[in-house]
Amino acid sequence: MYKTILFDLDGTLTESGEGIMKSVQYALEKIGKREDNLDNLRVFIGPPLLEQFISYASIDKETAKLCVKYFRERFSTKGIFENKLYPNVEYVLKTLKDKGYLLAVSSSKPEFFVLQILEYFNIKKYFDEVVGSTLDEKRTAKSEVIYETLNRMNLLNNREYVLMVGDRKHDIIGANSQDIDCLAVSYGYGSISELKNSKPLKIINSIDEILEIL
């Protein structure tokens, strides 16, 4: 029986694609790799940013670090607010809290930005812990973020009571590596085939379905 629910942020709680993709577009243009088609940049939603810049733009680590710097220039002032909650997110969070579940956010986004976003949407009050990556690009892998969440919540020896909810393979693989179950949401930024191949506990089509499972 689950007692603690860990939520991914982008693509699970918030529809953040516009702000992320436009900030990536800005960063790529700054290094001379202009990308006019925003849809091509959907791959940046979810994975660690530094690694994705290296992979997508075929650049070295130092150039990718520069891209992250440029990304944050735009994201910190504008992109962070090109964002909205998915339908019924607050209702589900409130219902889970009222039922006595412990809730946390486990995101590969820098913790500094995660906290800002939760405050902006007035949902931080529902979470017992909020964990993200660090601004110096440490703790970016989802497995590391989940481990840190479990550690802060004193749950390293009680993993069987923890459930992760996310929209990308990184959430599922990260959860599995930490020996916790993961629900995948189909409405986010991961394809159905990506989710199925990562072997989640179940794929759900709306966040409300969590309440039917728990």
Instruction: Say if CB 164 and CB 182 are below 8 A apart.
Output: yes
Structure tokens that stand for 74 in this block:
């735009």
With b meaning 16 or more CB within 10 Å and e meaning fewer, what string describes 65-100? bebbebbbebbeeebbebbebbeebeebbebbbeee
Per the listing, tokens 């599922």 go with 172
- Structure token pair of residue 72: 């944050």
8 is catalytic: yes
CA distance 186 to 206: 7
The C-alpha atoms of residue 17 and residue 194 are separated, in whole angstroms, by: 18
Closest by Cα among 122, 113, 111, 92 to 5: 92
Catalytic residue (one of 8, 10, 167, 171): 8
Q: Any idea which residues carry the catalytic annotation?
A: 8
